[in-house]
Amino acid sequence: MIEAHDLTKRYGSKTAVAGVSFRVEPGTVTGFLGPNGAGKSTTMRMIMGLDRPSGGSVTVNGKPYAQHRAPLHEVGALLEAKAVHTGRSARNHLRALAATHGIPAKRVAEVIEMTGLGSVAGKRVGGFSLGMGQRLGIAAAMLGDPRTLILDEPVNGLDPEGVRWVRGLVRHLADQGRTVFLSSHLMSEMAITADHLIVIGRGRIITTGSVREVIDRTSGTTVSVRSPQSGALAQALVAKGGEIVSSDGDLLSVRGLEAAAVGETAAANGVVLHELTPTQASLEDTFMTLTAGDVEFQTTTSQSGVSA
């Protein structure tokens, strides 16, 4: 379990994390989702005691990281997964880490096996690809068999097989009752991998909930409706409380009304319909809608096609 209360981090005049409070529960995969620069890595570093909060607090399994006697057994983390530049072999790198906690060589062999590093365990870590480095970082995080796992962008740089492996691994770990907290800037990835989402933008929590709840709350269902009298229909729908999200010739996209209500409004106004389709917002559109205005480096043209 991870609990943050009003957690804040300032770097000079820059507020990277602005008073976030959240809870990451055991037995679920919780996704920490946000655009670049949102504050994900900073939050994770504070959880791991690598950055000191400017305000607020965060605990892992009930205590701040630094107060755990044997932290590797409580929480394992993959942070800033750059290849470790070392002349040591992967096995020796893990053995050295294990030795700091009295973890036996048998456990090193187990995590090497679990992460599929068996064939390269004797090779120099300095020569590892990004994907192999990620696996090694995950192996290191799992050395102490921790109850809580924190993985910062764990699928970055992995090939499709590696991405599937990470998904399977985090699911397995959560099913064992562990707390799994992983970050990504990709909604599509989070939708497949996570049960629960914490969405962050510019250091603030934007929303939390299951993937389905986040989409429904943010975008709701949109109805596409085509009519040769689209102007009259648009007026009638707005009068009924609908919002015209876009209009392209005879095709309207309507939010705030169910398809049945759109059809009934058309009938009541004697408007002919040629098409009536409820459409669920895509995950990427939801993410763009959620974080619009919260991205640090914004392009001038919207790539999502959805007005926020």
Ligand X SMILES: Nc1ncnc2c1ncn2[C@@H]1O[C@H](COP(=O)(O)OP(=O)(O)OP(=O)(O)O)[C@@H](O)[C@H]1O
Closest CA to 34 of 48, 20, 13, 50: 20
Closest CA to 32 of 66, 58, 10, 13: 58
CB of 154 to ligand X, least distance (A): 13
CB of 252 to ligand X, least distance (A): 36
CB of 161 to ligand X, least distance (A): 24
CB of 40 to ligand X, least distance (A): 3
The residue type at 251: L
The dihedrals phi and psi of 258, each to the nearest 5 degrees, come to -70, 160
Q: 243-272: which residues touch ligand X (CB under 6 A)?
A: none
27: its two tokens:
């037995």
DSSP character string of 271-287: ---SEEEEEEPPHHHHH
Using the rule CB under 6 A, give the single segment among 33-41, 63-71, 120-128, 270-278 that binds ligand X: 33-41
Nearer residue to ligand X within complex by CB, 4 or 271: 4
175: its two tokens:
């099913």
Instruction: Tell me whether strands 251-255 and 221-226 are parallel, antiparallel or unpaired.
Output: antiparallel
Q: Quick check: 8 binds ligand X (CB under 6 A)?
A: no
**Contact assessment for residue 148 and residue 2, using Cβ atoms and an 8 Å cutoff:** yes
CA atoms within 13 A on the CB side of 288: 15
Nearer residue to ligand X within complex by CB, 88 or 204: 204
Nearer residue to ligand X within complex by CB, 94 or 198: 198
CB of 109 to ligand X, least distance (A): 33
**Contact assessment for residue 264 and residue 278, using Cβ atoms and an 8 Å cutoff:** no
The sign one gets for the Cα dihedral 106, 108, 112, 118 is negative
Q: Which of 7, 28, 34, 214 binds ligand X (CB under 6 A)?
A: 34
The sign one gets for the Cα dihedral 102, 107, 111, 113 is positive
End-to-end CA distance of the chain: 34
Nearer residue to ligand X within complex by CB, 199 or 252: 199
Q: 287-306: which residues touch ligand X (CB under 6 A)?
A: 296
CB of 201 to ligand X, least distance (A): 9
In angstroms, the CA 306 to CA 297 distance is: 18
Nearer residue to ligand X within complex by CB, 27 or 56: 56
Q: Quick check: 222 binds ligand X (CB under 6 A)?
A: no
143: its two tokens:
């050395």
Q: 35-94: which residues touch ligand X (CB under 6 A)?
A: 36-42
263: its two tokens:
């059809």
CB of 166 to ligand X, least distance (A): 17
Nearer residue to ligand X within complex by CB, 20 or 266: 20
Using the rule CB under 6 A, give the single segment among 19-27, 31-39, 110-118, 119-127 that binds ligand X: 31-39
Q: Quick check: 14 binds ligand X (CB under 6 A)?
A: yes
Nearer residue to ligand X within complex by CB, 34 or 71: 34
Closest CA to 200 of 182, 185, 215: 185
Q: Quick check: 11 binds ligand X (CB under 6 A)?
A: yes
Task: Tell me how many residues contact ligand X (CB under 6 A).
Answer: 13
Q: Quick check: 185 binds ligand X (CB under 6 A)?
A: yes
Q: Which chain residues interact with ligand X by CB under 6 A?
A: 11, 14, 16, 34, 36-42, 185, 296
